[in-house]
Amino acid sequence: MISACAPGKIILFGEHAVVYNRPALAVPVNGLKACVHIEPSPGDLDGTIWINAPALGLRKSINAMAVDNPLAQSCRLTLELLQKRTFPSFEITIKSSIPTASGMGSGAAVTIAIIRAVARYFDSMIADKDVNNIAFEVEKIYHGTPSGIDNTVITYNRPVFFIRDITMEPFSIKQPFNLLIADTGVHSPTAEAVTRVRESWEQDRDKFEKLFDCIGDITTSARAALANGNMDELGLLMEKNQKLLEALGVSAPENNRLIKTALDAGALGAKISGAGLGGNVIVLTQKPHNPQLKIALMEAGAAACYLTEVSP
């Protein structure tokens, strides 16, 4: 059996503004993974590919899936790149511990695990750049007009300072730090949140361009705070970024409640991570990590809390 896994991700700073070419910072979350296993499926017609996702109750041949199904498309684009047209039938099984629709990149992680597993199955290697390009095409199916940050940070599996179409570079983190990722339990509709921001931007471009500029400046300052290991400053920048996300209209009451709870319980900073309208909030915890914070968040209605270490 052939396998490949890909991590989850969180955006630290700059979501939404990144769609409008402002910088964003994102990091992989290696404690959560999407894994894909492939094995031959003897007895089926040559060229048949089964996709089996037990958590979704799905087992279907990709020929029976819609042309724009992201799972099928991940597979088709990979086979196209590998120039594989005829092959004995095989089955792809997908298992993931990354919560879906919560801003943790589960879609991109599954796509990237499929691309790499299919390449391995055919004893081939696909360069990271090509993995990233295919994953970006599939992200468009999921989200319409993605910035590309999810597929980039997950493909390269390292902290990324990202400006759409301009740069994708690692950034330095002076000292590892802990984040609590608290799930509101409300599914975060990325495409809807991105569309909502776009409609508001179309109605008042001046205002929204200024908001995006402010978020971009905060992201740049956060990069410096991470490089200097200045956690107090990082926390304040998270709070400022959150206020701007609220001004963009993507912070739901459930996000606001968890953020307030975290700050009241002594967190250094807290904000939405990802598209918002639910999904996850990230909380910068003091060192050593205070276990009361997680209890307070769960009592305030968090569906789950994961502690993750962000390291260079």
Q: Which of 68, 123, 128, 150 is catalytic?
A: 150
User: Cβ closer to ligand PMV: 93 or 184?
Assistant: 184
For position 105 contacting ligand PMV by CB under 6 A, the verdict is yes
User: Cβ closer to ligand PMV: 235 or 279?
Assistant: 279
Contact 10, 31 (CB under 8 A): no
CA distances from 87 to 44, 48, 121 (A): 11, 8, 11
For position 135 contacting ligand PMV by CB under 6 A, the verdict is no
Query: Which uninterrupted H or E stretch holds 240?
Result: helix 231-248
Query: Which uninterrupted H or E stretch holds 183?
Result: strand 177-183
Question: Could you identify the residue written with the tokens 């511990």?
Answer: 97
| Percentage helix, strand, coil for the chain under 3-state DSSP, each rounded to 5 | 45, 25, 30
User: Cβ closer to ligand PMV: 18 or 118?
Assistant: 18
For position 153 contacting ligand PMV by CB under 6 A, the verdict is no
For position 15 contacting ligand PMV by CB under 6 A, the verdict is yes
For position 19 contacting ligand PMV by CB under 6 A, the verdict is yes
With b for 16 or more beta-carbon neighbours within 10 A and e for fewer, the 106-140 pattern comes to bbbbbbbbbbbbbbbbbeeebeeebbbbbbbebbe
Other Cβ atoms closer than 10 A to 179: 25
Sketch the per residue contact string, 22 through 51, with ligand PMV: x for CB under 6 A, - otherwise.
Answer: ------------------------------
User: Cβ closer to ligand PMV: 18 or 25?
Assistant: 18
User: Cβ closer to ligand PMV: 158 or 174?
Assistant: 158
Tell me the window of 122-130, 143-151, 204-212, 254-262 that interacts with ligand PMV (CB under 6 A): 143-151
With b for 16 or more beta-carbon neighbours within 10 A and e for fewer, the 10-29 pattern comes to bbbbbbbbbbbebbbbbbbb
User: Cβ closer to ligand PMV: 79 or 108?
Assistant: 108
Q: CA 131 to CA 127: how far, in whole Å?
A: 6
Angle at 70 between CA 64 and CA 180, to 5 degrees: 140
For position 147 contacting ligand PMV by CB under 6 A, the verdict is yes
Contact 183, 303 (CB under 8 A): yes
Among 51, 149, 281, 284, interactor with ligand PMV by CB under 6 A: 149
For position 146 contacting ligand PMV by CB under 6 A, the verdict is yes
Instruction: Report residue 134 as tokens.
Output: 């295919």
For position 150 contacting ligand PMV by CB under 6 A, the verdict is yes
Sketch the per residue contact string, 268 through 287, with ligand PMV: x for CB under 6 A, - otherwise.
Answer: ------xx---x--------
The yes-or-no answer on residue 150 being catalytic is yes
Instruction: Using CB under 6 A, list all residues that contact ligand PMV.
Output: 11, 15-16, 18-19, 103, 105, 143, 146-147, 149-150, 188, 190, 193-194, 274-275, 279
Which residues belong to the active site? 150
